[in-house]
Amino acid sequence: MTAVHSSIVESTVETDGLTFGTLSVGEGPLALCLHGFPDSAWSWRHLLPALADAGYRAVAPFLRGYAPTAIPDDDLYQSGAVASDAIALHEALGGGDDAVLIGHDWGALATYAAAGHAPDRWAKVVVASVPPPATVAQAFFSYDQLQRSWYMFFFQSPLSDMAVPMDDLAFIDRLWQDWSPGFDGAADAARAKDCFRDPANLAAALGYYRATLGAGARSPEYDAVEAAGAAPLSVPALYLHGADDGCMGAELIDDGVLASLAAPGSRYEVVPDAGHFLQLEQPEVVNGHIVGFLTS
């Protein structure tokens, strides 16, 4: 396994009817870091200590349904549910109005919704690898992006329940290779696969996609939270995207992104020599962008 910073503490937090597995380090204002798919909280192993050094209490939960976090009784996985979890974690962890929220991939979609629904809880937000909802919606009319997003449609089929776990979840390894070309992410992919080894956890992870594009369960309460993420953010935001991202093409990232990141001080950066998992591929560069933005 890849080296892990010795100061990172593994723990649990109970809130929103769930027990969340967490990684944390540091003292100070809350910096909540949300991972995506196919990933785990360990994706933030480089950023957490950097945030602690900058004076934050950095906490990365495993998302609902991702072991060791519990599978929710309601079986709801839409991004509004994950955003509600972030808001509940803010409360449970004693976050104030100086808290910051950082999200990658599914965590990015949850960050838009959490910041839109409860802007007073967050001083700033950082989002990576999935642009604002309006940009994503436009992207799905592009042949190139539809081709990259084939897996989302495959996950709607029961065939995926059988195909993804085959050969020690080799499907997950291939996604990492395709999304971050040239990056040796085997150790990090292995940590992600540990979240899905129980079929119930894998079903939960696929449930995120089924709630978004298919017939997965949804709730009006979470629909309202999710809808808040579609509006321009009132919280200063930094958007980061890898130039070589094989999941969401970097051609989607232009000044139009700023229309959704409307608060003064918001900006975006395309990170050279990085793919989808940019926080692991270029940690010094990405940490520098994030810490610099949060402390400016």
Q: What are phi and psi of 127, to 5 degrees?
A: -130, 145
For residue 13, what pLDDT is reported? 98
User: Per the omega criterion (within 30 degrees of 0), is the bond before 68 cis?
Assistant: yes
- CA 202 vs. chain centroid, Å, equals 17
Task: State the pLDDT at residue 5.
Answer: 60
**pLDDT given for residue 192 in this prediction:** 97
- pLDDT per position as a tens digit, 58-68: 999 999 999 99
pTM: 0.96
- What is the Cα–Cα distance from 105 to 136, expressed in whole angstroms? 12
**37-88, pLDDT tens digit by residue?**
999 999 999 999 999 999 999 999 999 999 999 999 999 999 999 999 999 9
Query: Which parts of the chain sit beneath pLDDT 70?
Result: 1-6
Please say whether the beta carbons of 176 and 39 come within 8 A.
no
Element (H, E) at 90: helix 79-92
What pLDDT does 141 receive? 82
Cα(32)–Cα(60) distance, rounded to whole angstroms? 6
